[in-house]
Amino acid sequence: MSTRTGRHGSALPWELARETARDLGRSCGPGGRRREPLADALGGVLAEDLRARIASPAYDAAAMDGYAVAGPGPWTVRARVLAGERHTLTLSPGEAVEIATGARVPEGTGAVLPYERAERHADALTGTVRPGRHVRRRGEETPEGATVLPAGTVVTPAVLGLAASLAHDHLPVHRPRVRAVVSGDELVRAGVPAPGAVRDAIGPMLPGLVAAGGGVLTSVRDVPDGFGALVSALADTGDESVVVVCGASSKGPADHLRGALTELGAAVLVDGVRCRPGHPQLLARLAGEQRPGPVVVGLPGNPGAALAAALTLLLPLLRAMTGRADREAGRAARYPLGGHVSAHETDTRLVAVRVAEDRACPVGHDRPASLRGAAAADALAVLPPDWRGGDVELLWLPG
C-alpha cells in the first residue's frame, strides 16, 4: 500500500485518513485465532462456522404449562411432570399428564392442552386442542449438526447464548491483539502528580477503545522519552497485529516516533490528519521478515486529541479488520447540530456532543488537552471544512 498525501503538506484530509485505516484493516484481516471459553469470546469474530452440537429443541418438549394429552379427549390425568424431570412415561390415547413449559413430554403425546383451555375435576380432564399444538419437537428449530452462523460473525451476547444452548463451551475466535507503548517522562500512573508531572490519561482509555473495535489490549508498556527506547519498544515483536503509540507524535525535541519508524523501515501511510483536535496522528506498517509486520497507530499526547485520533484511525482500522466496518456501512445516522459552532477553515472539526431529542448539542470542554467534554458526551460530531450548517455525521463514543 502506498502512502497517500494531501495538498496541505503530508497531512491527509480526515475522511481520506479514515478510509486509509479501513483499507489497511481489510487487507490485514481479523488477527490471531484462539480457542476461548465462552466468557472470553465476546466481541471476537467466529473463526469457523458455528454448528449445532445438539438438536434444538434437544427433546420433544411442552411449549405451554398445561397437560400433555394423547388422542382426543376426555383424558385421565396420570401424573405431573416438571421441567428437568427425568421420566419414562408413555401415554396411551385418553391419557394425560400435567406438564410444565420446557418439560420433556411423554412418548405418545399428541398435543399440550394449556391450563386456560382445560377443565379438570379430580383426574378427569376435558378441553379442545388441535393435534400437534404446543409441543416443540426435537430438532424442529435446528437439527443436530446444522450450521447456524457463518465464520466471520461477530460474537455478540446473543451469539454466546446461542452457542451455549447448542452445547458449546469454547469458541474459536479471531481478535486483533493490540499492545500499547506510552511515552512521556512526565507521566505517572497513580496518585496526585508532583508539579510538572502528569497523570497518564490515555492508558486507562485504551482497553475500552480497543475492545470497541473488537480487539484485545494485551499489554501497556511505558517508555522513557528517547529515540533508542522507542525504537526497541516498537521492534519488540510479539504476536500482536497492532501497536498503539501514545505521545511522541509531534515535532518537539522528545517526539521520536517518525524517526523510530524510519529507523525500522516502516511504511508510513498516514503522517498527520487534517482534523482538530488530533492532527499529529500517524498510521504505519512495520517491515516484517517474510510478510508485513504489525500496524502502528500513533496517537497524540494530548488526551482529548488522542481520543479523537483513536476514533479516526484506530477504531476504523480494528473494525475493518474484524469485518464490522462493512457490516455497518450505510447505517450511520446524521443529526442536526445545535449550538454555535462553525467549521474550521481547512481541517475537519470533531466536536463533543450530547444527543437529545434527535439533535446533537455541543457540550464544550473539548479542547485537545481535556477529556471533560468527551466524558460528558455521547459522540463527536464531524464538521468538514466546507460545513455550513445542516445535519452532521456522529462518531459514537464507546459506552
Ligand X SMILES: Nc1nc2c(c(=O)[nH]1)N[C@H]1C(S)=C(S)[C@@H](COP(=O)(O)OP(=O)(O)OC[C@H]3O[C@@H](n4cnc5c(N)ncnc54)[C@H](O)[C@@H]3O)O[C@H]1N2
Give the span between the Cα atoms of 288 and 162, in whole angstroms: 39
> Which three-class secondary structure state does DSSP give residue 262?
helix
| Among positions 36, 95, 98, 200, the unique one binding ligand X when judged by CB under 6 A | 200
Q: What is the Cα–Cα distance from 118 to 127, expressed in whole angstroms?
A: 5
Q: Torsion angle of alpha carbons 188, 190, 195, 196, nearest 10°? A: 20
The minimum distance between CB 289 and ligand MOO, in angstroms, equals 34
Tell me which residue has its CB nearest to ligand X: 301
What's the closest the beta carbon of residue 221 comes to ligand X, in angstroms?
A: 12
- 301 binds ligand X per the rule CB under 6 A: yes
CB of 278 or CB of 384, closer to ligand MOO: 278
**How far, in Å, CA of 161 to CA of 163, rounded?**
5
184: left (phi over 0), alpha (psi -120 to 50) or beta: left
Least distance between ligand X and beta carbon 298 (Å): 8
202 belongs to the binding site for ligand X (CB under 6 A): yes
300 touches ligand MOO by CB under 6 A = yes
Q: Is the C-alpha dihedral spanning 297, 197, 193, 371 positive or negative?
A: negative
Residue 349 in contact with ligand MOO, rule: CB under 6 A: no
Contact stretch for ligand MOO (CB under 6 A) within 21-29, 162-170, 258-266, 298-306: 298-306
Q: Judged by CB, which is closer to ligand X: 45, or 374? A: 374
Report if residue 174 touches ligand X, rule: CB under 6 A: no
142 or 302: whose CB is closer to ligand X? 302
Question: Of 74-82, 99-107, 194-202, 349-357, which part binds ligand X (CB under 6 A)?
Answer: 194-202
CB nearer to ligand X: pick between 96 and 273: 273
Name the strand (E) or helix (H) holding 349. strand 348-356
- Count the Cβ atoms, other than its own, within 10 Å of residue 281: 28
CB-based burial label for 111 (10 Å; 0-12, 13-18, 19+): buried
- Asked if 261 is part of the footprint of ligand X (rule: CB under 6 A), the reply reads no
- Phi, psi at 100, each rounded to 5°: -100, 150
Q: Which stretch binds ligand MOO (CB under 6 A): 41-49, 275-283, 287-295, 316-324?
A: 275-283
> Which part of the chain contacts ligand MOO (CB under 6 A), choosing from 12-20, 66-74, 102-110, 274-282?
274-282
Is position 191 an interface residue for ligand X (rule: CB under 6 A)? no
Check binding of 245 to ligand MOO (CB under 6 A).
Answer: no
Contact predicate 110/71, CB 8 Å: yes
CB nearer to ligand MOO: pick between 106 and 280: 280
Task: Provide DSSP, 178-218.
Answer: EEEEEE-TTEESSSSPPTT-EE--SGGGHHHHHHHTT-EEE
Question: Of 22, 16, 4, nearest to 347 (Cα)?
Answer: 16
Q: Is 277 in the site for ligand MOO (CB under 6 A)?
A: yes
Instruction: Identify which of residues 299 and 360 has a Cβ nearer to ligand X in the complex.
Output: 299
Residue 381 Cβ, how far from ligand MOO at the closest point, in Å?
16
Q: How far is the CB of 193 from ligand X (least distance, A)?
A: 10
Number of residues located near ligand X, criterion CB under 6 A: 24
Pairwise CA distance, residues 255 & 258, whole Å? 8
- Least Å distance between CB 18 and ligand MOO? 16
Q: Which residue has cell 383424558? A: 75
Pick the binder of ligand X from 94, 226, 368, 398 (CB under 6 A): 368
Contact by Cβ (8 Å): 112, 99: yes
Rounded Cα distance between 311 and 297, Å, is: 11
Our finding on whether 255 is near ligand X (CB under 6 A) is yes
Binding footprint of ligand X on the chain (CB under 6 A): 182, 184, 186-187, 198, 200-202, 246-252, 255, 279-280, 300-303, 305, 368
